[in-house]
Amino acid sequence: KLALNGQTAMITGGSGGIGSALTILFKRAGCNVIITGSNEDKLNTFLKSLPTEGGKAWAFACDLRNRQQVNTMVQKAAKECPPINILINNAGYALTANAPFWEQDMDNVESVMDVNLNGLMSVTHAVLKYHMMTRKPQPKGTIVNISSITGHQAPLKESFEASYHTSKMGVEGFSNVLRHELVGTNIRVLINRPGTVRTEFHSRRHMYDPEKTEATYAGACPLVAQDIAVGCLYQCLQPERISIVMLEMLV
């Protein structure tokens, strides 16, 4: 029997980087997967490429910066898919690493906050409201928020990531409070805190310049997306009494 048979996970940012590894691994473990992403073409191409084995898969395009779109998307999932009992808030990005905070465009800074933090709270709010908290009896539920080492410590060198760090610190604060608010329910709130992972996240930050991207990884052996997915699966597989509230995986 597959470990997550009969369970259903919503994975934000599910078609790229860590998200695609999560989607493939959870599906293979028997979990139904509902993936969201802002790029509809990329999302649908990825959906078609998924292996057939394991759980079923759905994809919903959604701009997490738009709360109305988030609510509509989660309500649509409530109608068309099995009830969500796992939410993996994975979607997130950082600005191009070419300027310090005071030289960044504030619209771009706000956009990072809107996807990484406000969007994460909107999805969580809607999933709790329309799925996890409304069902009787209360189902067992797990929310995993993908943070980052930057959600915990300032960089040792200049990183041009003020908005990204701030958003991830917010994700951790939100997770820690929500965990307490949900004590007494069957829903646990967990954090997964990766270090440097070799994904498009870094290529994009360096405007797809391979040399600059490689410099990010220099002197270390970066993690790969599957490493984080395996850690996240481990958190979700634990029996109800065990909350791995923080899983930090560094290079």
Nearer to ligand 8X3, 6 or 155 (CB): 155
Q: Which stretch binds ligand 8X3 (CB under 6 A): 52-60, 68-76, 146-154, 174-182?
A: 146-154
Query: 53 and 30 in contact (C-beta within 8 Å)?
Result: no
* Sheet of strand 187-194: strand arrangement: 57-61, 32-37, 8-12, 86-89, 141-146, 187-194, 246-249
Give the one residue of 85, 150, 163, 213 binding ligand 8X3; rule: CB under 6 A: 150
Under the binding rule (CB under 6 A), the answer on residue 118 touching ligand 8X3 is: no
The dihedral of CA 199, 200, 203, 205: what is its sign? negative
Nearer to ligand 8X3, 36 or 150 (CB): 150
Q: Three-state SS for 84?
A: coil
Using CB under 6 A as the binding criterion, the count of chain residues that bind ligand 8X3 stands at 5
Under the binding rule (CB under 6 A), the answer on residue 247 touching ligand 8X3 is: no
CB of 149 to ligand 8X3, least distance (A): 5
**Phi and psi of 198, rounded to 5°?**
-80, 95
CB of 89 to ligand 8X3, least distance (A): 14
Under the binding rule (CB under 6 A), the answer on residue 149 touching ligand 8X3 is: yes
Query: 194 and 183 in contact (C-beta within 8 Å)?
Result: no
Q: Residue 182: how many CB atoms within 10 A of its CB?
A: 17
Q: Tell me the CA distances in angstroms from 43 to 35, 46, 57, 111, one per residue in order.
A: 8, 5, 11, 20
CB of 206 to ligand 8X3, least distance (A): 11
CB of 225 to ligand 8X3, least distance (A): 12
Q: E strands, the chain, where?
A: 8-12, 32-37, 57-61, 86-89, 141-146, 187-194, 246-249
Nearer to ligand 8X3, 8 or 150 (CB): 150
Under the binding rule (CB under 6 A), the answer on residue 196 touching ligand 8X3 is: yes
CB of 222 to ligand 8X3, least distance (A): 8
Under the binding rule (CB under 6 A), the answer on residue 203 touching ligand 8X3 is: no
Strand 86-89 with 57-61, pairing: unpaired
Binding site for ligand 8X3 (CB under 6 A): 148-150, 195-196
